[in-house]
Structure 1
């Protein structure tokens, strides 16, 4: 690409940083790099600083991805959003993968699925419901995403049922996980083709007038968006390395297991930008967008990110990673999928339905904190 980012493009990025308060946290990016490489701060300090640095980087990545997708058309744009929408979580997980912290990786996968489907959607329903008495959304889209989540949960359940005893069982679980990773990735690709190409007429908004009612921030020119995307990805990789390196020290000091850090902290930090977008859309009575972000991101993690991590472990990790999760993680993903299916089946919502989703999420997080899984 020969495009050059002109001063006008940099001005657009600066304007976005000025007007988006979440991006003010970008000041912590150089702070955490200095704290790691110059000051050699403690693990707890680096953990907190890296979390504060990743949040605005995720927001910047999200806006750059939307800008690139806006200039490529629906089909390619949808694929780009699907591929890059969870880039922050993917980079963090790849860094942890290289460090051999598989419990953190699996916790982040399970946590992203549960956090997006229960916390993000539940809080969106509460915020939207408190401002608007009732809200409507496309039930067909919600049912498709919930069905894809259910398929993924079933695929994750199978290797978790295999007794983890002996070398032969481990080889079988690795082979099974590899086959399931390819199957899940193929299912996700076909799901994209179905919703974006062959049957896209079924997945429009439930409110026709909601198409483009002067939406939030303007998109950036492609050259600017691609440059920001490349630069921020590098920064996310650098900060993620510090984050993963400080997790164990901070977790011990704060009484958290690697599974809890992955399930709650990584999931919330990585999805910060998507959470903000979902909340904003719900308050504007654009619940279709909120549901699409929450469930679409969950399905993307289960059917795309998890398989990519399994395949990447053959090259980056000390040994191949399997899709064998601890039993309570599979149960939480399965119950989260069932809960979302029940709540979203009617295409109508009120604030109390969001409370129910949040109650389930807090139950899971509390249980995992008080009773961490065995390593």
Structure 2
């Protein structure tokens, strides 16, 4: 990494250039950044090549996720793992939000709800399980702040209950009129956003001492200068949003050509692509014996999607959707979210992580993914 000029907080251009070259040498995956302009240009020239655009957009998001990961780690080194995890979850969920907004505007509510449920399950099971596995393969036993993990798991549980209620009333003998479900979902959405805001105030202001990171002895890479990290966060986030729009525009047709259902695409594919940036950071942090950051990203991202992104989409649907969206999910999605939340609660009890715990969580995610692939759920009413 290039050093800062004496007495300046802004790295000189030569240092920035050297930093970029060094990063590419250390992480050859960053060479895939060339696919970002390729997919943008191709979308302008051949917008009907949906399958090719879908595949290229997935590849293009990978190096952007890696850059976002390194920049977020640099900020987390200055602010601490609690704030760093929240920052990474927020920026990572921006991709989910862009994808969902595009689908919402097109009236693809099944895709929106599948991506929301899938993001919660993917972050809670796949990301958390992968972090335990990758970190446990390098470190015998890893410790994390279980107070923080339990707090995030409780917030996630609250959100799943809020999703469960409108889903349950649709299953009674005399289901209420659609207007009742819309009103209930609107009220619950406002309540969840308020609870999420108060939760952030609790963890970052009034009781932040409870969320301090557990000390670790792992070797850390030298962080980027703060100015460089913040600039890259902004630029890469914008590029991720741009590539995500291309991804949304091509995913449905490409899914049909590749033999995937809309539910599987939303629950698995969109969720994995949307969480690529967060996963990169969570996995690398676990390998560096910073399981606090990994757990904070995985559970924090799930809680943010459930308590903020999903309710926000309900509110926005009144303005850009063909009709208001509700928090009513199909039974299978609600079941998977509840099981994922319970798994997160069990994992957070001990405050320790091992590789086999990761295997069990990943196996649970594999059960859900395979079930959706061979037996997609029916469209919810």
* TM-score, structure 2 normalization: 0.87
In the alignment, what sits opposite 1:262? 266
Is 1:146 the counterpart of 2:153? The answer is yes
Q: CA deviation at 1:6?
A: 6.5
Query: Matches of 2:82 and 2:258 in 1, distance apart?
Result: 45
Q: 5 Å matches for 1:24-63?
A: 24-40=31-47, 42-63=49-70
In the alignment, what sits opposite 2:352? 348
Alignment deviations for residues 68-92 of structure 1 (CA, whole Å, 9 cap, x no partner): 6777899987765554342122122
Query: Matches of 1:52 and 1:330 in 2, distance apart?
Result: 31
In the alignment, what sits opposite 1:216? 221
Query: Matches of 2:175 and 2:251 in 1, distance apart?
Result: 30
Alignment deviations for residues 116-175 of structure 1 (CA, whole Å, 9 cap, x no partner): 111111121122222222222221111111111100100011111122899962111111
Q: 5 Å matches for 1:317-336?
A: 317-336=321-340
Unaligned residue ranges in structure 2 (runs of 5+)? 1-8
Cα pair 1:35 1:41 within 8 Å, conserved? no
User: How many residue pairs were aligned?
Assistant: 369
Call closer, same or farther: CA 1:4–1:261 in 2, change over 3 Å. Answer: same
Across the aligned residues of Structure 1 and Structure 2, the Cα RMSD in angstroms comes to 2.9
Call closer, same or farther: CA 1:225–1:311 in 2, change over 3 Å. Answer: farther
Call closer, same or farther: CA 1:271–1:14 in 2, change over 3 Å. Answer: farther
Cα pair 2:89 2:297 within 8 Å, conserved? no
Is 1:123 the counterpart of 2:130? The answer is yes
Alignment deviations for residues 33-84 of structure 1 (CA, whole Å, 9 cap, x no partner): 2222214452211111111122323333444455567778999877655543
Cα pair 1:129 1:351 within 8 Å, conserved? yes
Cα pair 1:163 1:169 within 8 Å, conserved? no
SS of structure 1 residue aligned to 2:329: coil
Call closer, same or farther: CA 1:271–1:318 in 2, change over 3 Å. Answer: same
Unaligned residue ranges in structure 1 (runs of 5+)? none
Q: 5 Å matches for 1:89-238?
A: 89-163=96-170, 169-206=177-214, 208-210=215-217, 215-216=220-221, 218-222=223-227, 224-238=228-242
Call closer, same or farther: CA 1:209–1:57 in 2, change over 3 Å. Answer: closer
Query: Matches of 1:46 and 1:121 in 2, distance apart?
Result: 30
Query: Matches of 1:161 and 1:114 in 2, distance apart?
Result: 20
